[in-house]
Amino acid sequence: MLELSQIEAFIFDVDDTLLSNGTNAEGIGLHEHTRLKVMHVLGKQYGNQILLDSTLADSAEDFRRSPVHSIHAAAWQAYVRAGMLPDSGFDPTHHLIAEFVNLKEELHEDILRTQGREVPGAINFVSSLYTRGFAGRLAVASTANRRDIDVFFEMTNAARSYNKIMQVGTMNRSRPAIKEAIKFMQDGGIGKVYMARGLCFKPRPSIGKYPDGPMQPGEQYKLNVEATTFEPTYDAQYLSKVDYDMWLGPAPKRPFNRNRFHYNWHWHWDYGNGDTGNQGPHQFDIARWGLGKQEHPVKVMSIGGYFGGESSQETPDMQTVMFQYADGSILEFGTRGESTNDEGGVRIGNIFYGTKGWLWTEESGKIWQSYLGPAGAKNEKGPGSKAQTAEAVGLTTIEFPHYQNFIDAIRANDPKLLACDIMEGHLSSTLPHLANISYRVGHGLTFNGKTETFDNDKAADKLLTREYRKGFEIPALS
């Protein structure tokens, strides 16, 4: 049996590990509540009375009747029931399904936070680990690491200096369909891959604008102007329980503002990087992986802006980025937070172009398809992913392979086994930072990958890091 003394660290997932989704005997839990909220929002949006009248029982039944047990399939079943999609030909890349899934992801975070209940014993277990010497070795699993490039560099140095194993949460690295697609390209399936395109077409309503300071008791607040649910009232009583100084961390000290707090921090430069650095790192990583680049690009050009309604948002909601590598290979990235078409049936995902054809992968990491033929000829379907298989629930979700890979590497004490070690994460997470730096300085840049600085541009170099607030500085490693 594994002894506590043999364990290096603990990493917890919040969903169903620390907080329970509360599924009852009828199969109704917080996920069913969230899907129901999505149905009501979309029912109102599309004027569909069936979605508007949906119940929790309908939400649970949609999941049970879906062709595979996934959020995409449950969304499809809901649309079928509402008469909005045909009862055949399940297509998880359909724009309606992508819209449903994206909205579900946004709403579930708040529902889990406000309605989730402690998994029995979770708090006591974490507390006992804290008191038994694991205070600095407890973490919550997260997505791609992202804020400042120097943070990634220090993390990389730390992993190497202390001989520790660090895995980055780009789960697609361990998903069978994506691995299959990448191998197909690496084996020459679409010829020489000369360009990769990442897509983050994720429309988001305006978050509005609010004055600084606590809310008034009983005042209501929504994350965006179209949200149908309210956030907690961040009044003086609520904030008395918040360590706001710790929440700000290294960011500049400024008065509390509800729009710079939970979730909407993503859209302000002090804390976030917009959707290019939020959803984006997952698709940036696949794009770089498919191009086979273990290096930084040498050129970057980014343009865009915010085109939504009145808002405190600082980051662009429409952004187009071009990167070029030393051999001339191109990586494009498109972020669109407004109304938009899809590309090749994909709204969040990747498209690769080669000398013999092209290939797409979609957001869930379960499906890919290639198209082959000479330039200008009619697209002919080539190899692609096979039919999806049903997925387990709970701790054996689609993210399980990535967790298992991490555990396997720890047990073997071999970082080479990792699907995405910290250096892979560093190379991929640097891309959205370079994109945003070019956007913020307003012109194209030349980047020196060896020194990780820009050529003759002090203004751009300054944005590679930040001025860390006293008490939150990151010490350099020699």
In three-state form (DSSP H/G/I as H, E/B as E, the rest C), the secondary structure along 4-49 is HHHCCCEEECCECCCEECCCCCCCCCHHHHHHHHHHHHHHHHHCCH
**Which structural domain, as residue segments, surrounds residue 37?**
20-117
Residue 140 lies in a domain: no
Give pLDDT, residue 20.
Answer: 56
Number of domains in the chain: 2
Positions of E strands within 58-131: 117-118
| Gap between the Cα atoms of 217 and 14, Å rounded | 29
Residue 310 lies in a domain: yes
Full pLDDT tens readout for the chain, 478 residues: 556 666 666 555 545 555 555 555 556 778 888 899 999 999 999 999 999 999 999 998 898 888 776 788 899 999 999 999 998 878 878 889 988 988 887 787 667 666 666 555 555 555 566 556 655 555 544 443 444 555 555 556 666 666 778 888 888 898 899 999 999 999 999 999 999 999 999 999 999 999 999 999 999 999 999 998 899 999 999 999 999 999 999 999 999 999 999 999 999 999 999 999 999 999 999 999 999 999 999 999 999 999 999 999 999 999 999 999 999 999 999 999 999 999 988 999 999 999 999 999 998 888 999 999 887 777 889 999 864 544 444 444 567 788 888 888 888 888 888 888 888 889 999 999 999 999 999 999 999 999 999 999 999 999 999 889 998 887 765 4
Q: Are residues 108 and 182 in the same domain?
A: no
Q: Are residues 109 and 186 in the same domain?
A: no
Residue 61 lies in a domain: yes
The percent helix, strand, coil of the chain (3-state, each to 5) is: 35, 15, 45
Last residue of a domain, one of 79, 96, 117: 117
Residue 339 lies in a domain: yes
| Gap between the Cα atoms of 182 and 184, Å rounded | 5
Q: Are residues 186 and 70 in the same domain?
A: no
Residue 269 lies in a domain: no
Give pLDDT, residue 475.
Answer: 72
**Residue 182, SS3?**
helix
Positions of E strands within 106-233: 117-118, 138-140, 193-201
Q: Are residues 98 and 186 in the same domain?
A: no
Q: Are residues 353 and 452 in the same domain?
A: yes
Q: What is the CATH number of the domain that holds 439?
A: 3.30.360.10
C-alpha count within 13 angstroms, C-beta hemisphere, residue 79: 25
Q: Are residues 188 and 309 in the same domain?
A: yes
Residue 77 lies in a domain: yes
Residue 158 lies in a domain: no
Q: Are residues 112 and 179 in the same domain?
A: no
Residue 42 lies in a domain: yes
Give pLDDT, residue 149.
Answer: 56
Q: Are residues 321 and 440 in the same domain?
A: yes
